[in-house]
């Protein structure tokens, strides 16, 4: 099985080309708001994933661990607290573990040990910051949910690499080769995560993942903003062209043009319906006036 990431230098040594393991299905969802809508969406995703894992366990597969990545330590603690209050936390079959930077070393070791364990309760859910993105080698992680996108694409790739891992034993006595596919679901919040959207699109492209129209448009707008900043400064190559990123701009333009044509089409249809309705109303009105004159 391939490693969780591939990093090679391209473009004259300008940077790394990051790639998520092809065993991982990446799902990126653009949200309009933070707060309650995002948390409610998280609960629905986790509930669905728990049901999927229960089904897999009945088939003898040992995929019963999930990780929720948060941006800040306070966010991780709050999400874990809210999940414990939800139906997920109230289920005795689920165990929610927190791992963040303010914890002592002994507390971290205890949290990781609890997450690795295959003892009861059956399903383990780790809520963590990027402290768990690197070096946490736990088999049997079926889902990674990026509650926050993060501060870099390298962290994003490391996060996704916690699932879809192969080789070795998952601690339950079965080879992880039985289940070496995973899902990484990421929330991208409008007005917050635009800066990384072009690079995110590029990472998704490298393993032929689905890119939504909303994400394409967001990436295109960010590229325009970068070009405006680059042309207004005296430095050269603040955001050098990579070819791959430029493709996101072309896709965004295509999506916007398609939406513009659809809006024009809908407006034409509405005008036709309005004209038809007005014409029908006029005929009925004339008919009533003519009928009234005949009765007189």
For residue 177, the model assigns a pLDDT of 45
pLDDT tens digits, one per residue of 75-94: 999 999 999 999 999 999 89
For residue 51, the model assigns a pLDDT of 86
For residue 261, the model assigns a pLDDT of 72
C-alpha span between 48 and 147 (Å, rounded): 16
Greater model confidence, 221 or 135: 221
Contact 224, 256 (CB under 8 A): no
Of 151, 250, 154, 210, which is closest to residue 28 (Cα–Cα)? Answer: 210
For residue 274, the model assigns a pLDDT of 84
C-alpha span between 114 and 95 (Å, rounded): 9
* CA 49 vs CA 17, 63, 213, 270: distances in Å: 30, 10, 25, 42
pLDDT tens digits, one per residue of 193-248: 999 999 999 999 999 999 999 999 999 999 999 999 888 765 554 444 444 555 66
- DSSP structural state of residue 121: S
Of 7, 8, 4, which is closest to residue 167 (Cα–Cα)? Answer: 4
Is the model's pLDDT at 131 over the cut of 80?
yes
Return the percentage of the chain with pLDDT > 70, whole number: 72
Greater model confidence, 9 or 280: 280
Of 122-131, 133-142, 169-178, 198-207, the least confident: 169-178
């Amino acid at each position: 099985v391939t490693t969780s990431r591939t990093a090679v230098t391209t473009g004259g040594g300008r940077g790394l080309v990051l790639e998520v393991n092809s065993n991982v299905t990446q799902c990126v969802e653009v949200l309009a708001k933070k707060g309650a809508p995002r948390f409610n969406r998280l609960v629905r995703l986790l509930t669905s994933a728990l049901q999927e894992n229960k089904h897999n366990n009945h088939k003898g597969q040992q995929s019963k661990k999930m990780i929720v990545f948060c941006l800040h330590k306070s966010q991780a603690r709050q999400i874990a607290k809210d999940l414990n209050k939800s139906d997920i936390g109230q289920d005795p079959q689920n165990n929610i573990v927190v791992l963040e930077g303010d914890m002592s070393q002994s507390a971290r070791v205890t949290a990781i040990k609890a997450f690795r364990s295959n003892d009861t309760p059956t399903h383990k859910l780790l809520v963590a910051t990027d402290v768990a993105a690197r070096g946490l080698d736990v088999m049997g992680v079926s889902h990674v949910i990026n509650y926050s996108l993060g501060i870099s694409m390298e962290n994003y790739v490391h996060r996704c690499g916690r699932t879809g891992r192969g080789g070795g034993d998952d601690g339950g006595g079965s080879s992880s080769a039985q289940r070496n596919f995973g899902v990484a679901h990421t929330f991208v919040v409008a007005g917050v995560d635009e800066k990384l959207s072009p690079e995110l699109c590029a990472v998704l492209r490298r393993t032929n993942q689905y890119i939504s129209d909303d994400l394409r448009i967001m990436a295109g707008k960010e590229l325009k903003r970068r070009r405006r900043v680059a042309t207004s400064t005296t430095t050269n190559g603040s955001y050098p062209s990579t070819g791959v990123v430029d493709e996101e701009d072309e896709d965004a333009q295509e999506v916007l043009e398609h939406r513009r044509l659809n809006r024009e089409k809908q407006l034409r249809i509405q005008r036709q319906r309005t004209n038809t309705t007005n014409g029908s109303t006029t005929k009925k009105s004339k008919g009533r006036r003519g009928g009234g004159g005949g009765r007189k």
